[in-house]
């Protein structure tokens, strides 16, 4: 089922279902002005966060790989930064304990495959050891082996399914760059660095697809103990709010890129309201709204223009990401036309 290429399934085929409607995601002047005051504060908080939390030791080396991946491309090539998996926040400097955010990485890994098939080059910014593109459909325990090991296994078992996955991987492997993170700080440094690089070299042909689940809280450096927290007394952990980075992303780091964020909720009553609020506050292009329990069968896209499109994939005959990426590729094309 994962062999179908995007071009063979129109995003508006009768099954799965894509429904379009209209809703007001545009803002009143008062809303924009009050949001702008909040944003000035957010900018300061973002700067303070980057001053307080240093990048990962591999940051410069990873960014050099990103630059060379982006620069060696033709002038019409589209790129997407896919973020995937959850961030963790350390509770101790010499970390033994941490708080993690839920995300298996399935959404980001599946989306990456369909972006590749749609002709994009992908920077896959993922949580280390989360679900990986292509490997996600290799039967266990093989998904942890190197690709060469999988290839040998597939040949020895004559597994047609694994062979097909390997063929697709071989076709696309030069078009994907892997960058991994674990902590919230590492993730945000890479988000900033890579999106600035996309903006500079790729402009409107770049897309940022924020499927990662990012910690809303963290332990500030000033509050973090050096050593393992001892269990002889009840600990007190003071968490700070993580500054929201979408606004600097959409306005300073990558104002030319087409930016899609995700909104995950567990309560269906507040999902659409939260998605529309995110667009008004951060001024990016699209929010993909999903509920934890139905995220594999229904995703609703809310555009900054006010348009709403619901994608339903009730029978899960193929990945919902196939339809999602078809839809986004078309919206990105319209964005490119509008900005050419």
Smallest distance from ligand PMT to CB 261, Å: 3
Name the minimum Å distance from CB 196 to ligand PMT: 15
107 lies in the site for ligand PMT, by CB under 6 A: yes
Residues 6 or more apart from 151 whose CB is under 8 A from it? 166
Cβ pair 114, 321 in contact under 8 A: yes
H or E stretch covering 236: none
Nearer to ligand PMT, 50 or 153 (CB): 50
Which one of residues 264, 279, 308, 322 is an interface residue with ligand PMT (CB under 6 A)?
264
Regarding 124 and contact with ligand PMT (CB under 6 A), the answer is no
CB of 156 to ligand PMT, least distance (A): 31
By CB under 6 A, residue 245 contacts ligand PMT: yes
With binding defined as CB under 6 A, does residue 183 bind ligand PMT?
Answer: no
* DSSP class per residue in 259-313: EEEEEEES-HHHHHHHHHHHHHHH--SEEEEEETTTTTTEEEEEETTSEEEEEE-
- Give the nearer residue to ligand PMT in terms of CB position, either 25 or 154: 25
Among 4, 73, 104, 201, binds ligand PMT (CB under 6 A): 104
Q: 38 burial class (0-12, 13-18, 19+ CB within 10 angstroms)?
A: exposed
- If one asks whether residue 210 binds ligand PMT (CB under 6 A), the answer comes out as yes
User: Does the protein bind ligand PMT through residue 242 (CB under 6 A)?
Assistant: yes
Displacement of CA 44 from its chain's centroid (Å): 24
From residue 21, alpha-carbon distances to 18, 26, 287, 309, 311 in Å are 10, 15, 15, 6, 12
Q: What is the DSSP letter of 116?
A: H
261 interacts with ligand PMT by CB under 6 A: yes
Query: Cα 108 from chain centroid?
Result: 6
Whole-number Å distance between alpha carbons of 130 and 114 = 18
Contact 263, 276 (CB under 8 A): no
For ligand PMT, give the closer residue by CB, 31 or 216: 216
Residue placing its CB nearer to ligand PMT in the complex, 44 or 157: 44
254 contacts ligand PMT (rule: CB under 6 A) = no
Q: What is the DSSP letter of 24?
A: -
User: Which lies closer to ligand PMT via its Cβ, residue 11 or residue 211?
Assistant: 211
Q: Minimum Å distance from CB 264 to ligand PMT?
A: 3
- Rank residues 153 and 265 by Cβ distance to ligand PMT and give the closer one: 265
| Pattern 276-295, ligand PMT, x by CB under 6 A | --------------x----x
Of 333, 322, 198, nearest to 253 by C-alpha is 198
Q: Which of 78, 263, 283, 284 binds ligand PMT (CB under 6 A)?
A: 263
CB neighbours of 237 closer than 8 A, spacing ≥ 6? Answer: 91, 219, 223
Name the segment binding ligand PMT (CB under 6 A); options: 10-18, 169-177, 242-250, 309-317.
242-250
Interface residues toward ligand PMT, by CB under 6 A = 103-107, 210-214, 216, 242-246, 261-264, 290, 295
């Amino acid at each position: 089922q994962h062999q179908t290429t995007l071009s063979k399934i129109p995003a508006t085929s009768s099954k799965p279902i894509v429904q379009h409607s209209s809703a007001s995601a545009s803002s009143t002047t008062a809303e924009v002005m009050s949001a702008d005051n909040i944003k000035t504060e957010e900018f300061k908080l973002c700067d303070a966060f980057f001053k307080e939390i240093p990048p990962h030791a591999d940051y410069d080396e990873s960014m050099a790989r990103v630059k060379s991946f982006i620069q060696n491309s033709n002038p019409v090539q589209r790129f997407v930064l896919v973020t995937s998996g959850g961030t963790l926040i350390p509770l101790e400097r010499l970390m033994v304990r941490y708080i993690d955010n839920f995300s298996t990485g399935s959404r980001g890994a599946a989306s990456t495959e369909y972006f590749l098939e749609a002709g994009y080059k992908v920077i896959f910014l993922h949580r280390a050891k989360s679900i990986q593109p292509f490997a996600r459909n290799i039967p266990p325990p093989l998904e942890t082996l190197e690709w060469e090991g999988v290839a040998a296994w597939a040949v020895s078992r004559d597994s047609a399914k694994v062979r097909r996955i390997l063929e697709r991987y071989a076709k696309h492997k030069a078009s994907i760059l892997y960058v991994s993170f674990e902590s919230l700080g590492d993730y945000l440094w890479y988000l900033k660095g890579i999106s600035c690089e996309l903006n500079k070299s790729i402009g409107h042909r770049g897309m940022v697809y924020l499927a990662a689940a990012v910690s809303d809280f963290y332990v500030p450096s000033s509050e973090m103990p050096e050593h393992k927290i001892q269990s002889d007394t009840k600990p007190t952990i003071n968490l700070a709010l993580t500054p929201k980075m979408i606004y600097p992303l959409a306005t300073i780091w990558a104002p030319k890129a087409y930016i899609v964020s995700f909104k995950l909720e567990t309560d269906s009553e507040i999902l659409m309201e939260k998605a529309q609020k995110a667009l008004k506050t951060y001024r990016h292009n699209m929010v993909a709204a999903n509920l934890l329990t139905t995220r594999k069968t229904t995703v609703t896209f809310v555009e900054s223009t006010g348009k709403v499109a619901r994608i339903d994939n009730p029978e899960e005959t193929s990945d919902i990401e196939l339809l999602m990426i078809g839809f986004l590729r078309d919206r990105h094309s319209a964005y490119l036309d509008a900005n050419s």
